[in-house]
Amino acid sequence: MDSSLHAAPAVPAGYGLETVVRHTYERTRTDTSGALADYIPELALVDPDRFGIAAVSVEGEVVSVGDADVAFTIQSISKAFAFCLALEVAGREKVLSRVGVEPSGDAFNAIVFDAETNRPFNPMVNAGAITVSGLLVEHLGADALDFVLDRFSAAAGRRLVVDEAVFRSEAETAHRNRGIAHLLTSAGALTAGVDATLDLYFRQCSILVTAGDLARMGATLANIGENPLTGTTAFAVDAVRSTLAVMFTCGMYNFAGNWAFDVGVPAKSGVGGGILGVVNRQLGIATYSPRLDGRGNSVRGIAAFRELAEELGLHLF
């Protein structure tokens, strides 16, 4: 085999998780390319230089470097967890009757549905995620937000709250998502009402987390639904498997193929600057760096995950 295909590892073999994460942080921190999301006005106000990495193993090892304790809004990373909860609450058949599990290759905010079924392509793009929020409202009514907050908090191991300023900023400017919700209603994928559904969707996107929280939430998925640090069950086992499968194929939008090729683990990004990766039965890893590329994925987050995947041998294949 041509050994030049694989660059020499930056961290000598045998070093543990903490050393690899620290090296990765140092090697990727100098990249300041990309730009803050500004289509939600409040997101343009964050400090662009923040950078943190956290990892939590299912055995309970916790590593955190840089700004891993700085809070930011979870945004689209919430879509993975909301899908997991909808599978539990509404059941697999009903969820699949409203939203597909097929990668779309489209941008996160694309206004495209599957022409054959009238369903959004998958629960990771906005159209699919709004459909999922609609299912939670349909089944839980006014309790839906508390349910989401309770389960997200159980996975994070601490009480999470909504950033009201970011919520309002998105709600006041979300003409595109509002348009998508109306189209979903006319297609029959959304029956819970546009306003109640978007209220839940915008609030779930505005939940404040740190990279440390996301790493614990990821470790909970890696540990098939049970938070490995607290022993609390946050998600149903079957739903976790389905969620990780969709994160693997669709979590990075129109970068999902490249990500699967280079990094090779289920992941989800958010325009708040977070990326969550899950190494099944092993690790939750999260990065926070709010400068994004043109697809809405964190630039330094992608660089750090590429490096971590190489150094820790994370790739599934």
Using only C-alpha atoms, the chain has a radius of gyration, in whole angstroms, of 18
**297 a known binding residue?**
no
Quote the least distance from Cβ 61 to ligand DON, whole Å.
Answer: 28
> Is 201 tagged catalytic?
yes
Coil, helix or strand at residue 287: strand
Q: Which one from 57, 64, 76, 242 is the annotated catalytic residue?
A: 76
**Torsion angle of the four alpha carbons 131, 36, 259, 121, in this order, in degrees rounded to the nearest 10:** 20
Quote the least distance from Cβ 23 to ligand DON, whole Å.
Answer: 27
**172 a known binding residue?**
no
**88 a known binding residue?**
no
Query: If you write DSSP's letter for every residue of 89-137 in order, what string do you get?
Result: HH-HHHHHHH-------S-TT---B-TTT-SBS-TTSHHHHHHHHHHHH
Check binding of 108 to ligand DON (CB under 6 A): yes
Site string for ligand DON, 238-277 (x = CB under 6 A): -------------------------------xxx------
Exactly one of 134, 266, 273, 296 binds ligand DON (CB under 6 A); that residue is 296
Residue spans of beta strands (DSSP E) within the chain? 52-57, 62-66, 72-73, 208-209, 267-269, 274-279, 283-288
Check binding of 191 to ligand DON (CB under 6 A): no
Quote the least distance from Cβ 99 to ligand DON, whole Å.
Answer: 15
Distance between CA atoms of 261 and 290, rounded to whole angstroms? 23
92 or 176: CB nearest ligand DON:
176
152 or 312: CB nearest ligand DON:
152
Exactly one of 46, 80, 127, 205 binds ligand DON (CB under 6 A); that residue is 205
> Is 76 tagged catalytic?
yes
The number of residues that bind ligand DON (CB under 6 A) is 12
Check binding of 122 to ligand DON (CB under 6 A): no
Exactly one of 24, 57, 75, 223 binds ligand DON (CB under 6 A); that residue is 75
> Is 94 tagged catalytic?
no
57 or 269: CB nearest ligand DON:
269
Distance between CA atoms of 186 and 282, rounded to whole angstroms? 42
Distance between CA atoms of 140 and 144, rounded to whole angstroms? 5
Using alpha carbons, list the distances in angstroms from residue 97 to 117, 122, 206, 251. 9, 12, 27, 20
Distance between CA atoms of 120 and 117, rounded to whole angstroms? 9
Check binding of 76 to ligand DON (CB under 6 A): yes
**177 a known binding residue?**
yes
Exactly one of 177, 243, 254, 289 binds ligand DON (CB under 6 A); that residue is 177
Which amino acid would we find at residue 205?
A: C
Distance between CA atoms of 58 and 55, rounded to whole angstroms? 10
Check binding of 170 to ligand DON (CB under 6 A): yes
Q: Which one from 132, 201, 206, 246 is the annotated catalytic residue?
A: 201
Phi, psi of 296 (to 5 degrees): 90, 20
Residue of closest CB approach to ligand DON: 76
Q: How far apart are the first and last CA of the chain?
A: 17
Coil, helix or strand at residue 298: strand
**93 a known binding residue?**
no
Q: Residues within the annotated binding site for substrate? A: 76, 126, 170, 177, 201, 253, 271
Catalytic residues: 76, 79, 201, 253, 271
> Which spans of this chain sit near ligand DON (rule: CB under 6 A)?
75-76, 108-109, 126, 170, 177, 205, 269-271, 296
